[in-house]
Structures are given as structure tokens and as C-alpha cells.
Amino acid sequence: MKFIKQHISLIFPLIAILLGLEFFIVFDRTTDSFEKGLQEGYSMIVVSKDEMSIDDFRAWDSHIKQVKELEKSKILKRLNIDEDKEKHLKSSLPNFYSLKLDSYLTVDELESVKSNLQKSSNILSIETFQSAYQSKYELFSFIKFSFQTFIGFMTIIGFFLIVKQMEVWNFLHAQRMKVMEIFGASLFLRSKVLINMALIDAVISAIITSWLFYLFKNSWVQGSQMEILKENIDGVFKFSDIFILLFAAITVVLIAVFLVVINIKEE
Amino acid sequence: MPNVITANNLTLGYENDEEIIKNATFSIKKGDFVFITGPSGSGKSTLLKSFYGNLAPSSGSLVVGGLDMVGINKKNLQELRTHLGIVFQDYKLINEWTVEKNVVLPLWISGYSTEVQETQAKRLLHHVKLSGKEHKYPLELSGGEQQRVGVARALAKNPFLILADEPTGNLDEYSSNVIWDLMENAYHQLETTVVVVTHRIPMVFNIPYRHFTIDENGSIYEVH
């Protein structure tokens, strides 16, 4: 009971911080591929008088990653007109291009790409499908912002709880450390008990957080209808995350221990 | 006999405060038993603190065990402290540790083996008449018993210098006499140097001693 009481007050805030960190990693991984999907699924249509190569487009804006010419014959075939008319129309029609961008741009950046391309006298028209793009982008940004705020909030609470725990440590360990200092104990020896305890808590917290995410991946995500997570299930929790969590937990507790120890001054 | 403590024009004071000990010049030789007395607030404890490096001299010089205490580095100070035995009025025991573990603290700090620590703890606790209380915690003992643990801890590493700050200040007459007896025995057995800060020198004391006194102005005189 005493063991649990001693350790839970650090383990709890540590888990809050580690959950925040792991959520951030998972969110980053899944949104990265979602963002990639949005980016790959998006293209703008450009109409030009003369033929244009990718280099011609890139000369106006470097965000252009790929250019695909839309075949006029395919467009005309849909109209079901006779061959002569088709030939005539084909020679008078401008060139149509579908452009893909190098990343998922903001609405402003997209507008800037459009205005850069418009500077070319060869380009007749540009369709960015801005309203569809904007609604997807804003929804995505809102979800991202909300989640990051939640993670940030969780981490701040975790840190506040750790600061509180540092005050408790100060109260519990100051007397022993002061006495040990009087008798010539080194800084390491004085803080050994605290370091050991904090390291145990860091390991326990990393294991609990890893276990929670393992469960999250193997039961909740698999049973859920969230395609974004199901498609990226490997990114929800990786074995290497255990080491990231362990490293983060150890770093946090060692900083906390160090701050407590250097603040304990001999009377 | 070589000097264990040498002070030359030693001045001590706390930050932003007036000087407490002024221009003290004295020396304490190996094998001396020294009482330092003086009225409350005269700076007795301050002087003792400077001997174990808790307070650096404001000016002048102070050499303890061959080490200059002015600007002493942490490593040397830690090394010096592992060779000192210090007894406090408020015992300064570690309450969450057993009596045995408290007694062998100096040995533990110096990295002695568990076997040596156990043997020494047994011997020391027998010496201070606390055999059988090895596994008790300080707060389970009376004040007199706690101070005996403090004395045992001070003797654990056969220190070349024992410093005691009002060792009987919180004790009744009977317990005080027990502590003085222990100090006398330790002095004889270890052939060490002892400096005791006290309000009152015990009535019956069987060791020839030196007596320094500090007046209200922070000046130190040797009475005899």
C-alpha cells in the first residue's frame, strides 16, 4: 500500500504526459498519411493556348509536382460528333492540364499558386475547386487544432502535477539529503534514493502507456469504423514507441529529480 | 602536536548581515578537547559550522585538517567531511532509516562493505548502550537515545576531529551525563580531537580541556 501511495503520485502525471506524447505521435502519423491522401486526390485544372511542359508550369510556381495533359480526343468522344467536326474542334480547342501539387497547401497558398500561374499570358483559365478544397482543409485543420490543443492541455496538467510532486519530494527527502551532505555524500549518492524511485516510476509509466496503446490498437481501432485509423493501423502503435516513451519518461523524471536536488540547500 | 584547526584573523558572517565572529586567531592541536562557550547568539554554532565548511570565512584564514577552508572546492569538502564526526543538538538523524542504518551512514557514504557496516553498527550500538535497538526508527526512541545514536554515528569512521554542537542542549541531566561519558570514552579510545560548543561545561569532567569563550562582540578568548 505504501509502495503504491509513494509511486502513484508520480506515475499518474507521467502517464498523462506520455499519453499526450503518444497521441501526438499517432496523430502525426495518421494525419500525415491522410494529408498525403488529400494531396494526392487533389488536382487543379489549367487551360492554356499552347502546349506547356512541367518545366513551363514550374517556372511560374514551384509547388507544381506533376502535370497530366487531358486528351482532347477523349473529351470530344463523349460529345458523339462526326469525325470532321471532331477534327475541326480538336484544332480549335485549347490545351487542358491536370496539375498535382507537392504538398497539402493552405487555402492562401493555393490562391498564391493560382495567381502565379495567372501571370502567364499562355494560361487562359485555372480551376482550383477552391470551395471543396477549402471545406476539406478547414475541417482537417480544425480537427488537427482541437486534438493538438487537447494534447497540449493534457501535457500541461501533467507537468503541473509533476511540479506538485516535486514539492512533495522536497518535503520527504530534504532532511535525509541535508544530513547526508553534512557527512560528505556526493550529489549522486544524496539523490540515489530519489533517482531509483523516479526511474522505477518512469519505467512503470512507459509500460502502462504502451500497454494502453497496444490495447487501443488491437481492440478499439480494429473494431471501429474510423477509416483513417484502420488504414494506418500500423502507425497507431509501433514497438519502437516503447523506447520513445521510456526515453521521454526518464528525461522528465531526471530533470524533476535534478531540480529538486539542486534546490535542497544545506542548513 | 600538529594543528588540526588553525584560524588567523578569522571573520564569519552571513550574507547581508553583520560580522558574527571577528578577527579570531587560535589553533587547536591534535588531541585537544576544547569547549567553546558564550551567550546565546554569540556565534558559537556559527564558528563550529565553519569548521565543517557549512559557512565560508568572510575574511582571514581557516585551515581544518590541512585544508584551507577559504574557497575550498566541493570535492575536497566532501572528502574532509567523511573524516569528521559531527553531533548536533537536534540529532539530525534520518527518520525513515533504522538506527543501524543511521549509525553506519558515514561508512555507507565511504563505500564500506555491508559486512563491515554490520560489524561496526553492532560494536557502536553496544558502545552507546543501544544494543537490541538496531531495527528501531529514530522517532521510536527517546531524545537521549536519539542523541546516543548521533554520537555512535559520529564515531563510526574513527574521525580525526569530532565536532559537537550543544550535544546535550535538548536532554535531561541523566541523558546529558550519559552523553558526556560517551564523549570522554570516545576521546580516550580514539585519541582524537574534540570541539564541543555548549552553554555550560559539565560539572564533572575527567579530561583536561581547553576552554574558549566568545563574547557578545564576536571576539574569542581562551579562558584556560
pLDDT of residue A136: 76
The answer on pLDDT for B65 being more than 70 is yes
Q: How far is CA A6 from the centre of its chain?
A: 35
Per-residue pLDDT of chain A (267 residues; tens, 9 = 90+): 667 777 888 898 899 899 988 988 888 887 777 777 777 788 889 998 888 888 888 989 888 888 888 887 777 777 777 777 777 777 778 888 998 888 878 888 888 999 998 888 888 888 888 777 777 777 878 888 888 898 888 888 888 988 988 898 888 889 999 999 999 999 889 989 899 999 999 999 999 999 998 888 888 777 777 666 677 777 778 888 999 999 999 999 999 999 998 888 777
Residues in chain A closer than 8 A to B54 (CB atoms) = 182, 266-267
Per-position DSSP letters for chain A, written without gaps between them: -HHHHHHHHHHHHHHHHHHHHHHHHHHHHHHHHHHHHHHHH--EEEEESS---HHHHHHH-TTEEEEEEEPHHHHHHTT---HHHHHHHHHHS-EEEEEEESS---HHHHHHHHHHHHT-TTEEEEE--HHHHHHHHHHHHHHHHHHHHHHHHHHHHHHHHHHHHHHHHHHHHHHHHHHHHHTT--HHHHHHHHHHHHHHHHHHHHHHHHHHHHHIIIIIIHHS--HHHHHTHHHH--THHHHHHHHHHHHHHHHHHHHHHHH----
CB pairs under 8 A between A and B: 41
Per-position DSSP letters for B21-52, written without gaps between them: EEEEEEEEETT-EEEEE-STTSSHHHHHHHHT
Q: How many residues does chain A have?
A: 267
Distance from CA of B45 to the nearest CA of A (A): 12
Residues in chain B closer than 8 A to A267 (CB atoms) = 54
Q: Which of B96, B109, B162 to mutate to test the interface with A (most CBs of A within 10 A)?
A: B109
Report yes or no on B68 lying in a domain. no
Q: Which of B81, B97, B101, B139 to mutate to test the interface with A (most CBs of A within 10 A)?
A: B81
For chain A, residues classed under CATH 3.30.70 are 43-128
Under 8 Å between Cβ of A97 and A46: yes
B112 in contact with A, Cβ within 8 Å: no
Q: How far apart are CA A182 and CA A189, in angstroms?
A: 12
Q: How far apart are CA B99 and CA B121, in angstroms?
A: 9
CATH of A43-128, one of 1.20.1070, 3.90.190, 1.10.10, 3.30.70: 3.30.70
Interchain pair B109, A176: CB under 8 A: no
Q: How far is CA A230 from CA A199, A212, A222, A241, B150, in A?
A: 35, 17, 7, 18, 66
Q: Which of residues 189-218 of A touch B (CB under 8 A)?
A: 189
pLDDT in tens, B11-53: 998 876 678 899 999 999 999 999 999 988 888 999 999 999 9
pLDDT of residue B69: 93
Report yes or no on B3 lying in a domain. no
Report yes or no on B141 lying in a domain. yes
pLDDT of residue A28: 81
Coil, strand or helix at B12: strand
Q: How far is CA A90 from CA A5, A45, A68, A87, in A?
A: 81, 18, 18, 5
Q: At what angle do helices A2-41 and A240-263 cross, to 10 degrees?
A: 130
pLDDT of residue B17: 67
Interchain pair A182, B86: CB under 8 A: yes
CB atoms within 10 A of CB A115: 12
Q: At what angle do helices A130-182 and A107-118 cross, to 10 degrees?
A: 130
pLDDT in tens, B97-153: 999 999 999 999 999 999 999 999 999 999 888 899 999 999 999 999 999 999 999
Of B142, B172, B167, B140, nearest in space to B153 by CA: B167
Q: Can you give the residue range of the structural domain that contains B195?
A: 31-56+78-222
Q: In this prediction, what percent of chain B has a pLDDT beyond 90?
A: 64
Interchain pair A184, B97: CB under 8 A: no
Under 8 Å between Cβ of B94 and A172: no
Per-position DSSP letters for B118-130, written without gaps between them: HHHHHHHHHHTT-
pLDDT of residue A101: 87
Residues in chain B closer than 8 A to A185 (CB atoms) = 78, 109
Residues in chain B closer than 8 A to A178 (CB atoms) = 92
Of B5, B76, B102, B77, nearest in space to B47 by CA: B5
Residues in chain A closer than 8 A to B153 (CB atoms) = 183
Q: How far apart are the first and last CA of chain A?
A: 33
Q: How far is CA B113 from CA A243, B94, B107, in A?
A: 35, 20, 8
pLDDT of residue A107: 81
Residue A80's identity, in one-letter code, is: N
Distance from CA of A156 to the nearest CA of B (A): 33
Give the count of domains, chain B: 1
A185 in contact with B, Cβ within 8 Å: yes
CATH, residue B92: 3.40.50.300
Coil, strand or helix at B140: helix
pLDDT of residue A1: 67
**ipTM associated with this complex:** 0.90
Report yes or no on B15 lying in a domain. no
Chain B residue with Cα closest to A265: B54
Of A138, A122, A118, nearest in space to A130 by CA: A138
Write b or e for each residue in B50-84: b if 16 or more Cβ atoms lie within 10 A of its Cβ, otherwise e.
bbbbbbebbebebbbbeeebeebeeeebbebbbbb
CB atoms within 10 A of CB A242: 18
Question: Which grid coordinates belong to A6?
Answer: 509513494
